[in-house]
Structure 1
Amino acid sequence: MNILIKSATIIDSKSDFHNLTQDLLIEKGIITKIANSIKNPGNYKEVTLDNLHISQGWFDSSVCFGEPGFEERETIKNGLKTAAASGFTAVAMNANTHPVIDSNSDITFVNSKSNNNIVTLLPVGALTVNSNGKDLAELYDMKNAGAVAFYDYKRPISNANLMKIALQYASNFDGLVCSFPLDESISGHGVMNEHISSTMLGLKGSPALAEELQIARDLFLLEYTGGKLHIPTISTLKSVALIREAKKKKLDVTCSVAIHNLYFTDSVLSDFSTLYKVSPPLRTQADIEALIDGLKDDTIDMVTCDHNPMDVEQKKVEFDHAAYGTIGLESAFGALQKMFTTKKTIELLTKGKSRFGVEFSSIAINNPINITLFNPDTTYTFSKQDMISKSKNAIFENETLKGKVYGIMANNKVSLN
């Protein structure tokens, strides 16, 4: 891959060229020169785009692609195409497939489907067999096959002793255990946040307490056992406070927040649109403010679009019976840009890599090219035309977003929209 990138503003705090507008020469996938102006040394393809900005390639710690088993929702091939078009050079894929990804051979299958792709796919293995919460899966074997973490996607581990054993066992090989923060005995059949809105709408509510109790339990278990714990998609004010205190104790815990939980409150459910049915549910403005504070002081380690395609039959039903989930890769950048500066948005989209074993590759001479190309200033209304996913269950549909992705360069390959 030989390319000359012209007049790109570099957003990379780890680079000596941060905030500078430069030309970049890439030869055989390696950055060989960065300067104010570079002449084309040969018949290299030149990339010249309006208001071009580049950063380190983006990473998402929680995406679902359906395959194997739910190819009608999404396939690995199209999911990775969607990720590339959305600016992501690496994604961690959840195990909520059919069959569930819970063995060495399952991890090997996923890796084989993503070989030689411009986007690096990092498989997440199930924590328990068939994600049923009863018996630990083949964690060590999956780790050896390439699993970067272990997570029963959106399924809480109700058995505290099982979580204790998982943390102890995985610590023997530096395995990352993920625990979905929900106590189902408290949440019951709640389908949205338990608050004024749920009372007004007549929908069963799931209280913030259900999330916070599970987090408190898991943090006690982590303190007792040691090990590495990741708590995906927290959503409440007190959850932030609990994790902040745990980090003060130097516990090895990280957490993420879904972008839509930073953007929407539960008040958007007034028309009962199932596009807004997500787990954890949309909460209150006070929760959003606490989550944003948590991102600012590094209590929350990363954001995720929590990309979860669902076919139309799963969403075009009554709210109580609709599936949880939204696609989010395509809208991630534009939504974050509505809430944060470009510098902060890029910081959020590139955090979390080390926790999931993704190598950093700053924009520097002699480094492999691993970048996202974008225009941070374009404003547009997000519509079905912007959705590359097979499923169209987008919580951000019809929202005005800011910033467009041009594409990515990674793994000695180029993908431009």
Structure 2
Amino acid sequence: MKLLLQQVVINDPRSAHNASQKDILVIDGHIAEIGDALVADDAKVVDGSGWMAAPGWVDPFAHFNDPGFEHKETIASGALAAAAGGYTTVMVVPNTKPVIDSKTEVEYVMAKAANLPAQVLPIGSISKGAEGKDLAEMYDMRASGAIAFSDGIRPVQSAGILVKALQYVKAFDGVVIQIPDDTSIAPHGLINEGIVSTRLGLPGKPMMAEELIVARDIKLARYTDSHIHFTGISSPKSVEYIRRAKEGGLKVSCSVTPYHLFFCDEDLMSYDTNLKVNPPLRTRQDMLALREAVMQGWIDCIATHHQPHDYDAKVLEFEYARFGMIGLESSFRAVNTVLPGLSADQLAALFSINARRIFGLPEARIEAGQAAVITLYNKEGETVFTTNDIKSKCSNSPFVGHSLKGKVIGTLFHQKVNIPVS
């Protein structure tokens, strides 16, 4: 297939064409030529005026629920949601049924993910059954395609197990991903511990539960000289710990969610169960500090923590509602809304380049001769996010009804074209 994208602005700081308006000719899934006023016989021509063309975006932490919970999401429906949100690659957590803790489950995901509009890569479980007790078959999973290792939404509590995992992944330069949460501290906490939790009469969870795990795991990463990635960071103190670790030369990286940048615990005054997440939404001051950390470049990636839940899991008393929200389709627009000062180069780093470097993914460059792994978007304009924007099987999103800036046009992933083509 030949596709000619006309007058798009290249958004790749590693490209010789960065920040310039060019035509891009794609032939059979590869970028054949980049130039001015290109002409190609038999090519489908798309007017991309006002569009940005970035290296394909990567989400390093999402839940597709397949196998075992396909009523919430499947690998196929998750890939559709990813493409709608501008993502060409999604890393999925192992908290399925059965848990992705052996090569059989990894191969299942890899097989079902073939020929979808976005690449879906399994994160292998650190421990058997994600129970935090015994190491899983990490080497076999890596050989079968596991991109990283984590117990997903069930963070590893045992320092002994985590240090073994960090030592184990060194054999293949692997990465361990951890949601930092000491579950023994306020185990029944529902929202951030503070003034709002007191007013609402809901059990609180202090930021200390996050900060203790970050501090501990940084020490383990130093001891093992291995790479740990913290995801869902919500505490400014955690950011400080991670920044110091990086400055000390440790292999430490981190990601934040769009919802921790967009919402704070004050938004919970309506008891909206879609805002029940873990780690919980923090104070307004903490939220603003996280935004500043992103602007300063202390945060490596944006991770959606996409977690679909059916109606019955969310529409009930706050205490009994499940943690998590969907986030693939709203991710870019939410970040672009609250951080309009982010440059195009910063967006490319946050949504693609850094994640590819951290997890050893193939580079995606907007250069002639490279594979066509491209996200097309527009930073301008403002529209209301509605359920029509959701391609996931579930709609547990607090962003519905919010006016968000920017627009995702679509993606090119090798020969899969997910943009309007006449």
The TM-score bracket by the shorter chain reads over 0.9
Q: Give, in angstroms, the shift of residue 416 of structure 1.
A: 1.5
Q: Please say if 1:154 is aligned against 2:153.
A: yes
State the aligned residue count: 416
Unmatched 5+ stretches in structure 1: none
SS at 1:65 equivalent: coil
Distance 1:319 1:16 in 2: 52
Letter in 2 for 1:3: L
- Structure 2 SS opposite 1:396: coil
TM-score by length of 1: 0.97
- Contact kept, 8 Å, 1:261 with 1:288, in 2: the verdict is yes
1:382 paired with 2:381, answer no
C-alpha contact 2:301 2:351 (8 A) present in aligned 1:
yes
Shift of 1:175: 2.1
User: How big is the shift at 1:296?
Assistant: 3.3
Matched AA of 2:381: T
| SS at structure 1 position matched to 2:212 | helix
CA deviations on 1:305-356 (whole Å, 9 max, x unpaired) are 1111111111011111100001011101111111233513333211311212
CA contact (8 A) 2:266 2:284 kept: no
Number of the residue aligned with 2:290: 291
Q: Please identify runs of 4+ aligned residues in structure 1 that moved more than 6 A.
A: none
Residues 369-398 of structure 1 deviation map (CA, whole Å, 9 limit, x = unaligned): 111112221211111111111000012111
Q: Secondary structure at the match of 1:392?
A: coil
C-alpha separation between the residues in 2 aligned to 1:222 and 1:408?
36
How far apart in 2 are the matches of 1:369 and 1:179? Answer: 31
Contact 1:118/1:411 (<8 A) preserved: no
**Aligned 8 A contact 1:119 1:410 in 2:** yes
Task: Kindly provide the amino acid, as one letter, of the partner of residue 383 in structure 1.
Answer: T
For 2:385, the aligned partner's letter is F
Residue 107 of structure 1 and its aligned partner are, at CA, apart by: 0.3
Please give the alpha-carbon distance, in whole angstroms, between the structure 2 residues aligned to 1:105 and 1:347.
33
Unaligned segments of structure 2, at least 5 residues: none
User: Structure 2 CA distance, aligned partners of 1:92 and 1:366?
Assistant: 26
Q: Secondary structure at the match of 1:70?
A: coil
1:103-149 C-alpha deviation (Å, 9 max, x unpaired): 00100000000113331211101111111111111111101111011
Given that residues 373 and 412 in structure 2 are in contact (C-alpha distance below 8 angstroms), is that contact kept between their aligned partners in structure 1?
yes
1:415 aligns with 418
The 3-state SS of whatever aligns with 1:353 is: helix
Q: Does 1:300 align with 2:303?
A: no
The 8 Å contact of residues 196 and 265 in structure 2, kept in 1 or not, is answered as yes
Query: Does the CA contact (< 8 Å) of 2:277 and 2:323 recur in 1?
Result: yes
Of the structure 1 ranges 82-91 and 265-274, higher mean CA displacement relative to structure 2 is found in 82-91
Give the deviation of 1:298 after TM superposition. 3.3
- Residue identity in the other structure for 2:351: L
**1:370 and 2:387 are equivalent in the alignment:** no
Corresponding residue number in structure 2 for 1:346? 348
Cα-to-partner distance string for 1:61-91 (whole Å, 9 max, x where unaligned):
0111111010000010111011112111111
> Counterparts of 2:28 and 2:63 in 1: how far apart (Å)?
32
3-state SS in 1 of match to 2:122: strand
What are the equivalent positions in structure 2 for 1:213-362 lying under 5 Å apart? Answer: 213-338=212-337, 339-340=339-340, 341=342, 343=344, 344-350=346-352, 351-362=354-365
- Summarize deviations over 1:128-179 as a string: whole Å, max 9, x none: 1111111111111101111011111121222211112111222223221122
Task: Give the superposition deviation at 1:293.
Answer: 3.1
Match of 2:35? 35
- SS where residue 389 of structure 1 aligns? coil
CA pair 347-172 structure 1, distance change in 2 beyond 3 A: closer
Instruction: Report what 1:92 is aligned to.
Output: 91
For 2:403, the equivalent position in structure 1 comes to: 400
Letter in 1 for 2:260: N
Whole-angstrom CA distance in 1 between matches of 2:137 and 2:406: 42
**Alignment partner of 1:185: what SS?**
coil
The amino acid across from 2:58 in the alignment is F
CA-CA distance at 1:288 after TM superposition: 2.0
In structure 1, distance between residues paired with 2:42 and 2:164: 59
Q: Secondary structure at the match of 2:365?
A: coil
Question: Matched residues in 1 for 2:221 and 2:361: separation?
Answer: 24
Q: 2:12 matched to 1:9? A: no
The DSSP-based 3-state class of the residue aligned with 1:31 is strand
Distance in 1 (alpha carbons) for counterparts of 2:327 and 2:261: 13
Structure 1 counterpart of 2:31, one-letter code: I
| Contact residue 257 and residue 304 of structure 2 kept, 8 A | yes
Taking the aligned partners of 1:271 and 1:292, their CA distance within structure 2 comes to 24
Q: Which residue is 2:57 aligned to?
A: 58
Q: Is the 8 A contact 1:186 1:210 kept in 2?
A: yes
2:114 maps to 115
Contact 1:311 1:393 in 2 (8 A): yes
Query: 2:124 — aligned with what?
Result: 125
| Identity in percent | 39
Give the match for residue 104 of structure 2. 105
Does the Cα contact within 8 Å between 1:11 and 1:54 map onto a contact in 2? yes
Distance (whole Å) between structure 2 residues aligned to residue 247 and residue 33 of structure 1: 38
- 1:5 positional shift: 0.9
Q: Distance in 1 between matches of 2:97 and 2:336?
A: 35
- The alpha carbon displacement at 1:302 in A equals 0.7
Residues 373 and 406 of structure 1 are in contact (CA less than 8 Å); yes or no, is this contact kept in structure 2? Answer: yes
70-79 or 289-298: bigger deviation:
289-298
Query: Alignment partner of 2:76: what SS?
Result: helix
Q: 1:16: how far off?
A: 1.3
What is the alpha-carbon distance in structure 2 between the residues aligned to residue 304 and residue 180 of structure 1? 11
CA contact (8 A) 2:7 2:49 kept: no
TM-score, with structure 2 as normaliser: 0.95
- Given that 1:50 and 1:375 are in contact with CA atoms closer than 8 Å, whether structure 2 keeps it comes out as no
Deviation at residue 18 of structure 1 after TM alignment: 1.3
